[in-house]
Amino acid sequence: DTEVTQTPKHLVMGMTNKKSLKCEQHMGHRAMYWYKQKAKKPPELMFVYSYEKLSINESVPSRFSPECPNSSLLNLHLHALQPEDSALYLCASSQRAGQDYGYTFGSGTRLTVV
């Protein structure tokens, strides 16, 4: 299994809703990441988890709450989002959180906040 699986693929939510994005990998990778990508822009890092512990938080607003229940799963809990949070949310994983490892990206969740 060489894939990172993200669900759902599409999500429409209201500004008062609570929803969660899910990411799963079974490659034995011990680093997992959340990126946000707006149209015609490069991906921007949100969070890095290394060995199930949060190691980097790029000053992301608290309405985004990451969770890493185990080495294969990564969640992103969403609450009280704004329309400007609409974007493609990408999960990625790598063998380790180090310089020598490229990422494998999931197919993304396209989020629309209305």
Partner 1 sequence: QKEVEQNSGPLSVPEGAIASLNCTYSDRVSQSFFWYRQYSGKSPELIMSIYSNGDKEDGRFTAQLNKASQYVSLLIRDSQPSDSATYLCAVNAGGTSYGKLTFGQGTILTVHP
For residue 44, CA distances in Å to 4, 7, 14 come to 18, 20, 23
Between 70 and 99, whose beta carbon lies closer to partner 1? 99
Kindly tell me the sign of the dihedral angle through the C-alpha atoms of 10, 16, 18, 20. Answer: positive
Kindly tell me the sign of the dihedral angle through the C-alpha atoms of 10, 111, 80, 65. Answer: positive
Output the smallest distance, CB 97 to partner 1, in A.
3
Between 65 and 101, whose beta carbon lies closer to partner 1? 101
Query: Is 104 a residue that touches partner 1 (CB under 8 A)?
Result: yes
Q: Are 106 and 84 in contact (CB under 8 A)?
A: no
Query: Is 86 a residue that touches partner 1 (CB under 8 A)?
Result: no
Query: Is 106 a residue that touches partner 1 (CB under 8 A)?
Result: yes
Output the smallest distance, CB 100 to partner 1, in A.
6
Query: Is 108 a residue that touches partner 1 (CB under 8 A)?
Result: yes
**Contact positions vs partner 1 (CB under 8 A):** 31, 33, 41-45, 48, 50, 55-56, 88, 90, 94, 97-108
